[in-house]
Amino acid sequence: MKAALKALLEQVVINLKKDGVLADDVNPKIVIEHTRDPSHGDFASNLAMMLAKAAGQKPRDLAEKIVAALPENNDIDKVDIAGPGFINFFMNANTLTSVIPAILDAGEVYGHSTIGNGKRVQVEFVSANPTGPLHVGHGRGAAYGAAVADLLAAAGFQVHREYYVNDAGRQMDILCASVWVRYLSLCGALPDLDYLPANGYKGDYVWDVAAHLHRNNGDKFQKQWSDISQELPADEPDGGDKEKFIDAVINMAKEQLGAEDYRFIFDTGLNYILDDIRDDLAHFGVVYEEWFSERSLTDNGLVKDAVERLQKTGHVDEREGALWFKSTDFGDEKDRVLVRANGQSTYFASDIAYHMNKLERGYDQVIDVWGADHHGYVPRVRAAMEAVGDDPSKLHVLLVQFAILYRGKEKMQMSTRSGEFVTLRQLRKEVGSDAARFFYVMRKCEQHLDFDLDLAKSKSNENPMYYIQYAHARVCSVLRQLDEKGFTHDQEAGFESLDKLSEPHEQALMTTLSKFAELVEKAALNHEPHQLAHYLRDLANDFHTYYNAHQFIVDDEVIRNARLCLIKATKQVLQNGLGLLGVSAPDEM
RNA sequence: GCCCCCGUAGCUCAGUAGGAUAGAGCGCACCCCUCCUAAGGGUGAAGUCACACGUUCGAAUCGUGUCGGGGGCACCA
């Protein structure tokens, strides 16, 4: 509808140019918006105010000329000029009610659009190191990334969801060493059964991996700890060089086990945890097209290629034995190391290779959903892309702020040690997947999120997710009642009598429904699922208000058919909207 | 020190590609079921949109600066 009005006004501008009211070189951006106040009609345009200066006329005088030049249109009831020069459009009743058949005919795909034009978008999100289970911070990235991806898909983009698996690097070696030490403990080969290097991974899941390893392989990987420990430097948990110690343990493990067995334990830990993450995310309604291995970048020589490609640009030099990318040439605050003096490439080098690879795969847009703590990382990745001549505008980095858990007023401690729940799995178990998905996307991503567990579990209208689901369940309940009372709903007949929907509550509900498709587009393009969350809350509110004011199952067949069309359309939009956020729409509660 | 985010009702937050009297939930004061789920609805009180200057016919929204709150700075990943 907006588009149609826009087209009309574009025609007006052409006509006014012909009449000499406007100069030929004036090309205004035509804006049509929904009015906030019904007395201002259904839509409004500020065109007259925008053009007043160029035309050398008072806004209201110009508005008169615009209205006079407006082509005939059957959908428009009345056009008013108001305030400083707004042009208000009052649409006729059919325009509003037409949304109902539009929704019911399209069904599950109502709200989908083609604005994305089939462009290929890659969305990379979560990508947590597979060194332990996902925690509640990752949960926000998961819910947010999944919602953005689903919104983009609904808006007509071709979406590729990807998880970057950091299956190489020191953190994974530390995990491997931790698993091995726990394993030795299970073999009874450690003097102190609870012994672990100060910098090792302490979570219980490490025991699980070790037990898994022991169950399937017996004592195969057992070595004499007394021999090993003699050659290790001192571990210094209290501020000493525990880094050095864990590195020594890693090297010792490699030496004692041999490359093959070391890799086996390494991969056992990796796969065990990755399976756990996959399972966790699947239960959270988050699925990927691809799990991209960091190790594959090195194995396929892509990291080497990336460094060489950068070197050819002349923005790399060697200092103190290391290879540096001169990212300061592109506005970064300092240069960054690509290859360390010890010959190992940095995580940054892998990441450059990964991003080059993404673009080589031909995506029109690459979206990275990162934790806010990575923000310092953005300029250097952009710099690398610029250096090699890739288009940095294709890269969108969405930084997700931290979520803080509250139980009522009480802020929860988020330490792994304390045993207070920190994993996504525990959160899902406590509040359910639906509430978790919804609460995570209620705020825009750059906003700190206070996640109130008590609220997420409460069954009242304080809890927006419950309130929205309840609206859906209520419609279902009405439809069940209809059946029990022996009525049927003739939808086609209802379509013929939509003009009976003249109550203010019905008008308000239809107006809200008519904004859905546009809202999905906007939420998708701006990467703002929270807009959808708020919209659904408003829609549910309109419905509950209507429900309280009017009966749907009435004796008058004509009205009954029309009203049931309206609430069925409401149900459909609630279901579609919740679906985009990964939240279920239950039939009863 | 440099960089990023935030500052709107007592509380938690919408609204920011500039538009008409700034919205919602909670909380507070009242009111509404012989009726499809009261897990609901309605009415009311409540604001110098942190502050200042600037751009504009018009600023919560854009720009600059100040003040407050949070986060980030590695040859870690």
Q: pLDDT of A149-160, one tens digit each?
A: 999 999 999 999
Q: Which nucleotide is nearest to A169 (CA to C1')?
A: B77
The greatest distance separating any two alpha carbons of chain A, rounded to the nearest whole angstrom, comes to 98
- State the pTM of this model: 0.94
As a rounded value in angstroms, the CA-to-C1' distance for A446 and B28 is 32
Q: What is the DSSP letter of A423?
A: B
As a rounded value in angstroms, the CA-to-C1' distance for A180 and B26 is 51
User: Does A369 fall in a domain?
Assistant: no
What would the mean pLDDT of A67-74 be, rounded to a whole number? Answer: 87
Residue A406 pLDDT: 83
User: Does A338 fall in a domain?
Assistant: no
The protein footprint on chain B, as nucleotides within 7 A of a CB, is 2-6, 12-21, 23-27, 32, 35-42, 57-58, 70-77
Residues of chain A with pLDDT > 90, as a percent, come to 59
Q: Give yes or no for residue A404 having a pLDDT over 60.
A: yes
Q: Give CA torsion, residues A14, A20, A21, A27, to 10 deg.
A: 40
User: Does A560 fall in a domain?
Assistant: yes
Label residue A420 by pLDDT band (50, 70, 90).
low
How many structural domains is chain A composed of?
Answer: 3
User: Does A383 fall in a domain?
Assistant: no
ipTM topping 0.90: yes
User: Does A395 fall in a domain?
Assistant: no
Q: Give yes or no for residue A438 having a pLDDT over 90.
A: yes
User: Does A455 fall in a domain?
Assistant: no
Q: pLDDT of A214-269, one tens digit each?
A: 999 999 999 887 777 777 777 765 555 677 888 888 998 999 999 999 999 999 99
Same domain, A464 and A576: yes
What would the mean pLDDT of A459-487 be, rounded to a whole number? Answer: 92
As a rounded value in angstroms, the CA-to-C1' distance for A445 and B5 is 10
Label residue A417 by pLDDT band (50, 70, 90).
very low
Residue A428 pLDDT: 93
Domain end among A249, A283, A317: A283
Query: 3-class DSSP state for residue A486?
Result: coil
Give the sign of the dihedral formed by CA A370, CA A280, CA A207, CA A219: negative
Give the sign of the dihedral formed by CA A298, CA A299, CA A304, CA A306: negative
Domain end among A75, A91, A107: A91
Same domain, A87 and A189: no
Q: pLDDT of A271-290, one tens digit each?
A: 999 999 999 999 999 999 99
**CA Rg, chain A, in Å?**
30
Q: pLDDT of A5-37, one tens digit each?
A: 888 888 888 888 888 888 887 777 788 888 887
Looking at residue A528, which CATH number applies to its domain? Answer: 1.10.730.10
User: Does A14 fall in a domain?
Assistant: yes
Q: Which nucleotide is nearest to A442 (CA to C1')?
A: B13
Residue A192 pLDDT: 84
Domain end among A252, A283, A314: A283
Q: pLDDT of A321-361, one tens digit each?
A: 899 999 988 888 889 999 998 888 998 999 999 999 999 99
Domain span at residue A237 reads 170-283
